[in-house]
Structure 1
């Protein structure tokens, strides 16, 4: 193997400028693939870290002797939620909360850095008067994101706030009744699990095209390499030596590309940390998937690229003379497209029931989506071959005839050029239907406090009026029909004067009913509004990554195809074919398959997204339109980059044989 590496290194160095360019294209493709793969893995690692940072706030009943009492509530300032964790020790063995050096003493507050800044900046009557004296700042382990507003308040175990019942009226686990605990929970909340599910779907949408691109990267400059290896076979090289040389060459290039991709991702992490999800950005450490994962990727990528390169050597090993003579390979079989149809039929049979199957439904969805990507990629070359046959039969111009013959003779190479953007059509179609309409704006000037059984609403309303003396707030009681808290009596306070007046009213009413926070209908919609915004952000991120994969793949594989066929182009040019005809043929052999396969992938994505559709609106149509413009625009731009290379390879009046 040492000899194979030495020979591969010599061939890489001595192959000339154009051979070196082909190797650099392969290196760039592997670098992009590795960087984007680390991004997908880093995103899942970051969501797992967020889940751990959120889990401890939700109290779990003690399995042994209780050592503390924990309660959870959500307050608001300027319309933003403040997570408030109330803690009271029952014994000396109370667990230390994450991000804190010790258990909080009664009468002190530990605030997140963002909340500490607001406590100092806002007038006390708007925020600071709601909490005891700050004693310290919470560390990163206690926070979901850097800008999160969190307060940990130390209480006495007999305080009313630690004994009063509470209920989560929004269904989002924003409130938890006082619970006796002996440790902090390490599971995951329902709300956080939703985001992890969405992250899993997004990863499949990104990684599947990425793996296809990585496989294509391993086969760049395949014609040049096959011809060279076939020549080695004809002069006596054994099949084992050919395989060893190919593997060594691919591994050397891929190893350098993987290291470069990891470096590029590391450099991009500070910028990626500003992507806003769940109301804030990311800790940069969370976006780095960890040294073991990075090391595994750096080891796996060269091995996978080497294995993918070896897979294409069957013709070289078995029939080197056929490769040297450039014989047309056997036609592809229709079983390729039948496999795609089988996956679509399988999804049609079970797709309607996936929503009710919870995690099992998610697993089935992810498996079927992965199979859809793989079978689209498997069927792509067969469809390209069929398109080529139709173009040849219907050709009326030389460029159309040349393009059709190219599609017919080497559909796999052509598919590698358009596969990235074509598979992005699936992503665009799937996301187009996951575009729920915006939540209607709810009142933000009407505070409500739930009055539990056993307390007189009129008395609570009278005390509220006392606390709001000197303001224009109007206080009333009742149980409005259709209100999500219709099980409790409500004290409703209408506060004119804007957000600042509402915050002052919140502070004045703080603690009026222990365990119950004054909130507005707009506050209850905060989680839903954020989820809608996060869905849009996630969709745009996935589409951006997919288009980056697609256009990069088109540019790199298009340039590589010109290098692979430089002898053919040069001979055609010497035979008198105008350069414009060759250039038009080159564009047509890309755009025609893209239109057919991109449209088919888009329809497949719409089909997979249909069970989860919430309506097609303006944003859905804009998503589809953006895909069409960006897809074809990206391919045209990537194709234009190969035009100077085409001109260069056809200027040599005596092209050397490969």
Structure 2
């Protein structure tokens, strides 16, 4: 009997007729859920579904405000400017969540495909298989996300803006936008998968034996500092801009740069902090945690990037609440309604960011246990107590979390400083919102760690499934 492989087609007739490996069939055979891979396929699908649903809700709200005119509401331009700010604050983290979903369980995929490369499969075959698998999961997740979006529309439509509930119909984005979002999510998954395969196609043996650890260059810090300076100068110039459209553009660009810098500097900063922790490590848990971060600073960043975004958003939200509270006086009904809507918008932005964090952290934590399955089983076989393994897992996440939450809040404070001034930034209402969001983010990550303990229990109870 002849084995069927990517480089040995199943039949001679099939080979003569096409001359190519059966990519779709091989992808299906290798991607079929098994005892250890079912969760690996389901987890990114869940992440894509939540990403799509949240993205559609955010886009629906933005499109609703864009349709408002001065005839509908005298403050339509203000609503549109604030909605753009909310879109920038939420869409960039949502895109990051989508990218993280596309890269989930990359180690399992890279190991499998690197083995095929060593057996003789061509780089083209490996790339096509990976892109096809990732794209299929993304499309299925997006379709599920559309269903979630349709279910959530009536409930989100109960939120009042402009003195009345906005209604579910106002959040409908239309079939064209639905199709574009599915295509965008699928493209994001395909591009992320293709980029992630560069190391597999270049050095399959190094990937299979895990010999190469990714390095974070210090130029990330230099570029990040320059970008923050540019964003600060942009936001400082807003006082002299009279055109509303230009004001919206500058505000969105400045905040967007700040969020982008977080993703740029974050992995490098975690790598530096982990090196320092490794030198000071005195227990097995501390040593394993530091080595776990250094194994892949990018993966460690993905564990806490959601809280980093929330910390950044918390500063913007906190200063917004404090600024609204300073507007005291005898205002007319329209102004009071606008201030109430601003508070509502801030609350929605924070809640949406926390939903994103909950999805990102929960899925990433479960996927990390599955990706590092062999390490945890090996430690268990060596006799390491379960408590020490749990402690190392907690330190791998909670250590970087505290560092990232503070750094992200600091960057947020620097960017809102030219907009509202130091008095608003350190106002009691601002500090209260910021502290509440930071505590909530840390608590959310801690709960997700506890919630994924059963996954580790299953891994340790079935050590033969390596």
Same fold (TM over 0.5): yes
2:28 corresponding residue in structure 1: 9
* Structure 1 residues 526-565: aligned runs within 5 Å: 526-565=333-372
1:651 corresponding residue in structure 2: 461
Q: For residues 278-308 of structure 1, give each alpha carbon's deviation from its aligned partner in whole angstroms, at most 9, with x where no partner exists.
A: 2111132220111111111112211211111
1:214/1:393 CA distance change after superposition, 3 Å: same
1:31 equivalenced with 2:31 (yes/no): no
Alpha-carbon offset, residue 7 of structure 1: 2.0
1:210 corresponding residue in structure 2: 94
1:272 corresponding residue in structure 2: 156
Alpha-carbon offset, residue 440 of structure 1: 4.2
Higher mean displacement: 640-649 or 617-626: 617-626
* Structure 1 residues 85-234: aligned runs within 5 Å: 191-234=75-118
1:327 corresponding residue in structure 2: 211
- 3-state SS of paired residue (2:217): coil
Is the CA contact 2:155–2:168 (under 8 Å) kept in the aligned structure 1? Answer: no
1:194/1:441 CA distance change after superposition, 3 Å: closer
Is the CA contact 1:387–1:407 (under 8 Å) kept in the aligned structure 2? Answer: no
2:17 corresponding residue in structure 1: none
- 3-state SS of paired residue (1:650): helix
Q: Distance in 2 between matches of 1:610 and 1:267?
A: 39
Higher mean displacement: 336-345 or 33-42: 336-345
Alpha-carbon offset, residue 28 of structure 1: 0.3
- 3-state SS of paired residue (2:456): helix
Q: Distance in 2 between matches of 1:412 and 1:326?
A: 16
2:419 corresponding residue in structure 1: 612
1:650/1:411 CA distance change after superposition, 3 Å: same
Alpha-carbon offset, residue 190 of structure 1: 5.8
* Structure 1 residues 446-525: aligned runs within 5 Å: 524-525=331-332
Q: Distance in 1 between matches of 2:222 and 2:283?
A: 33
1:573 corresponding residue in structure 2: 380
Within the candidate set 18, 23, 47, 2:65 is matched to: 47
Within the candidate set 260, 270, 274, 1:384 is matched to: 270
Structure 1 residue runs of 5 or longer lacking an equivalent are: 58-143, 145-188, 443-523
Within the candidate set 228, 235, 239, 1:355 is matched to: 239
Is the CA contact 1:431–1:609 (under 8 Å) kept in the aligned structure 2? Answer: no
Alpha-carbon offset, residue 653 of structure 1: 4.3
Is the CA contact 2:93–2:306 (under 8 Å) kept in the aligned structure 1? Answer: yes
Q: Distance in 1 between matches of 2:461 and 2:151?
A: 40
Q: Distance in 1 between matches of 2:287 and 2:223?
A: 30
* Structure 1 residues 44-83: aligned runs within 5 Å: 44-49=62-67, 51=68, 54-55=69-70, 57=71
Q: Distance in 1 between matches of 2:350 and 2:239?
A: 24
* Greater Rg by CA: 1
Q: Distance in 1 between matches of 2:273 and 2:415?
A: 25
1:25/1:653 CA distance change after superposition, 3 Å: closer
Is the CA contact 1:234–1:320 (under 8 Å) kept in the aligned structure 2? Answer: yes
Q: Distance in 2 between matches of 1:368 and 1:274?
A: 32
- 3-state SS of paired residue (1:16): coil
Q: Distance in 2 between matches of 1:350 and 1:255?
A: 38
Q: Distance in 2 between matches of 1:432 and 1:343?
A: 23
Alpha-carbon offset, residue 11 of structure 1: 1.9
Within the candidate set 299, 308, 315, 2:183 is matched to: 299
Higher mean displacement: 377-386 or 232-241: 377-386
1:653/1:243 CA distance change after superposition, 3 Å: closer
1:590/1:190 CA distance change after superposition, 3 Å: same
1:428 equivalenced with 2:314 (yes/no): yes
Q: Distance in 1 between matches of 2:428 and 2:338?
A: 19
Alpha-carbon offset, residue 654 of structure 1: 3.6
1:633 equivalenced with 2:440 (yes/no): no
Q: Distance in 1 between matches of 2:21 and 2:365?
A: 33
Alpha-carbon offset, residue 271 of structure 1: 0.4
- 3-state SS of paired residue (2:165): coil
Q: Distance in 1 between matches of 2:74 and 2:220?
A: 41
1:549/1:420 CA distance change after superposition, 3 Å: same
2:169 corresponding residue in structure 1: 285
Structure 2 residue runs of 5 or longer lacking an equivalent are: 1-19
Q: For residues 343-397 of structure 1, give each alpha carbon's deviation from its aligned partner in whole angstroms, at most 9, with x where no partner exists.
A: 1111233322213314323312212322221221122111111111111111111
Is the CA contact 1:215–1:305 (under 8 Å) kept in the aligned structure 2? Answer: yes
- 3-state SS of paired residue (2:253): helix
1:18 equivalenced with 2:65 (yes/no): no
Q: Distance in 2 between matches of 1:395 and 1:295?
A: 51
Q: For residues 64-97 of structure 1, give each alpha carbon's deviation from its aligned partner in whole angstroms, at most 9, with x where no partner exists.
A: xxxxxxxxxxxxxxxxxxxxxxxxxxxxxxxxxx
Within the candidate set 350, 375, 383, 2:261 is matched to: 375
Q: For residues 447-474 of structure 1, give each alpha carbon's deviation from its aligned partner in whole angstroms, at most 9, with x where no partner exists.
A: xxxxxxxxxxxxxxxxxxxxxxxxxxxx
Q: For residues 156-197 of structure 1, give each alpha carbon's deviation from its aligned partner in whole angstroms, at most 9, with x where no partner exists.
A: xxxxxxxxxxxxxxxxxxxxxxxxxxxxxxxxx762011001
Is the CA contact 1:567–1:655 (under 8 Å) kept in the aligned structure 2? Answer: no
Structure richer in strand, relative to its length: 1
2:9 corresponding residue in structure 1: none
Is the CA contact 2:258–2:412 (under 8 Å) kept in the aligned structure 1? Answer: no
Q: Distance in 2 between matches of 1:369 and 1:541?
A: 18
- 3-state SS of paired residue (1:329): coil
Alpha-carbon offset, residue 323 of structure 1: 0.7
